[in-house]
Amino acid sequence: MEDRFVEESVRTRLILSGINELEEHGLADFSLRRAALAAQVSCAAPYRHFKDKDEYISEIIKYVNSKWELLSREIEKIFSHDPKKLATEMCMAALRFRIANRNFRSVFTLAPRLDSENSLDSAIISSVGAYADSVGATAAERELKIYTARALIAGSLMLVGKNDGEQILDFAREKLTLEFS
């Protein structure tokens, strides 16, 4: 039992160091050796836990998605009865999640390039789309609402500084509330 715990701990450390490696060096210059060194394990350790670099990157994406999915499932449970509130809260949670996990930024941008699912975007598209459907929006209006929500999240992320985070979040909530009314 303890061996399994140690192996999972090493695997998790490798995933976390891999996230930082992607953030610092990008996919093109991703180094398994540097990631292993940062995780304080041998250079062979990544190959004991992942078939190859591609599987390692894929597991990093799955790890980040799993963290978001825990949160988004709870939001869906709480607000499933109110499409407007669900869309607003899902977008706000996505924004807060990205702010709180800035080191995941490279993974969020990497997933679509590797044809991996980005569950954060999927949750936004699904909740905003459900809201649009609930108000009888046309397909074009639905797509515009999704685009607007995603653009507002992306723009807000770019504006958040060290001291004005809450102000930007309040502004984002205000604009999302207007969008979903």
pTM above 0.85, yes or no: no
pLDDT tens, residue by residue, 17-26? 999 998 888 8
Mutual angle of helices 83-100 and 165-179, in 10-degree steps: 160
Mean pLDDT, to the nearest integer, of 87-97?
95
Q: How large is the C-alpha radius of gyration of the chain?
A: 19
- Per-residue confidence at 164, pLDDT binned at 50, 70, 90? confident
Question: What local confidence, expressed as pLDDT, does residue 124 receive?
Answer: 93
Q: Do 89 and 153 belong together in one domain?
A: yes
The domain tally of the chain equals: 2
Render 78-129 in DSSP notation, one character per residue: HHTT-HHHHHHHHHHHHHHHHHHTGGGHHHHHHHHHTT---HHHHHHHHHHH
pLDDT tens, residue by residue, 40-61? 999 899 989 999 988 998 899 8
Instruction: Give yes or no for a contact between 18 and 56, defined as CB atoms under 8 angstroms apart.
Output: yes
Instruction: Give yes or no for a contact between 170 and 152, defined as CB atoms under 8 angstroms apart.
Output: no
pLDDT: is 159 or 144 the higher one? 144
Q: Which two tokens stand for residue 2?
A: 């303890």
Helix (H) and strand (E) counts in the chain: 9, 0
Q: Do 91 and 8 belong together in one domain?
A: no
Q: Measure CA 72 to chain center.
A: 10
Which CATH number belongs to the domain containing residue 33 in this structure?
A: 1.10.10
- Per-residue confidence at 121, pLDDT binned at 50, 70, 90? confident
Whether residue 168 is predicted with pLDDT greater than 50 in this model: the reply is yes
Q: Do 77 and 38 belong together in one domain?
A: no
Amino acid at 61: I
Q: Do 106 and 175 belong together in one domain?
A: yes
Q: From 72, 88, 102, 68, select the one nearest 180 (Cα to Cα).
A: 88
Range of the domain at 169: 62-179
Q: Do 114 and 171 belong together in one domain?
A: yes
